[in-house]
Amino acid sequence: MAEAPEKWRNVAGVLFGVLGQFDREDRKFFGNYTGGARKIVAEGDQFPKTVSQLRKIPRIGDYTAGAIASIALKEVIPVVDGNVIRVTARLKAISANPKDSLTVKKFWKLAAQLVDPFQPGDFNQALMELVSRHDSSVVVTDYPIKVVKAKQRHEFSAVCVVEIVGDKESLKRHQINNGFLLVKRPDEGLLAGLWEFPSVSLAGEVDLLPRRKAIDQYLKKYFTLQPRKTCDIVSREHVGEYVHVFSHIRLKMYVELLILRVELGINGLASKRDKDIVPWKRVDAEVLSNMGLTSGVKTGIHYGSKI
């Protein structure tokens, strides 16, 4: 398996390349395709040949699977995005809420009936880019119904890039126990299951000291890390602010770099073994660049000259 890293990178490139023409959300998740590529290589190096096999690959959903299957594999399968929903709604005069999950399922069924059996990939691409033509007597914007957008809420977060370094004894023993601390987000909700630097939600725009207090409480609660008690601060500095805009959330992140010296380094880091436990792991800077990461982690890396 010595060639595996190069193989999964090539497979990830294929996954990304098939979708390279689309300027949609799939392109934002290229980093996450590497996990799926590893799975393909680990299971025999055979690229999936059907949409059902593609759906089993991590981070590939119905839209991505349909795009790959129809365009690259010529499988007669639909692809449904916002454009397809709008065109289909106007074609069939459907005024239902296009955001409703049951309505979206109906659009998938309708799209499946429309796919050209001989050129499914070309048809899907054309349908997604189609400029609607309509009878002047029909108000085309009646279909689908316009949904009132929820007001975007503003959220704030303190993100701490935590680097753990070993003590002098571990250095004498040539133990490599340095690394960055990542925690896993919950399996449900925003950015579910992704890895990120330790972060704490804030009530609003707050000053540096309250942010640090919140981070310190987090590290104490989940990792028993207490400066001057269980670890020493090598350096700590605010490195920048960043705003990430989701469809319904405007998240402002305050990023700081915290280097801690812990006895035995990362191996001496103990997480509390109770109901509040947080999945975590140690990674080095090189590994970080190849992972599927949240915007908080990418922001920390962006200020990478500090890391």
Per-residue model confidence as pLDDT tens digits over 241-261: 888 888 788 889 999 999 988
Give the integer Cα–Cα distance in Å for 152 and 235.
36
Cα angle 199-202-203, degrees, rounded to a multiple of 5 = 165
pLDDT band at 18 (very low <50, low <70, confident <90, very high): very low
Q: Where are the beta strands (DSSP E) in the chain?
A: 153-165, 179-184, 195-196, 199-202, 232-245, 249-261, 280-283
CB of 37 closer than 8 Å to CB of 8 = yes
Separation of alpha carbons 214 and 139, rounded Å: 53
Model pLDDT, residue 6: 52
Place of tokens 């909700």: 189
> Which stretches does DSSP call E strand in 104-171?
153-165
Q: 196-239: per-residue pLDDT in tens?
A: 889 999 999 999 999 999 999 999 888 888 877 888 899 999 98
- Region of poorest pLDDT, from 7-21, 82-96, 147-161, 260-274: 7-21
- pLDDT, tens only, 90-149: 888 888 888 888 989 999 999 999 999 999 999 988 888 774 455 555 555 667 777 677
| Residue 140: both structure tokens together | 């085309």
Please give the model's pTM, rounded to 2 decimal places.
0.52
Of the pLDDT bands very low, low, confident and very high (cuts 50, 70, 90), residue 272 is very low
pLDDT-based confidence at residue 282 (cuts at 50, 70, 90): confident
User: Checking DSSP bridges between strand 232-245 and strand 199-202, what pairing results, if any?
Assistant: unpaired
Q: What is the mean pLDDT of residues 182-191?
A: 80
- Counting residues of the chain whose pLDDT is more than 90, the rounded percentage is 25
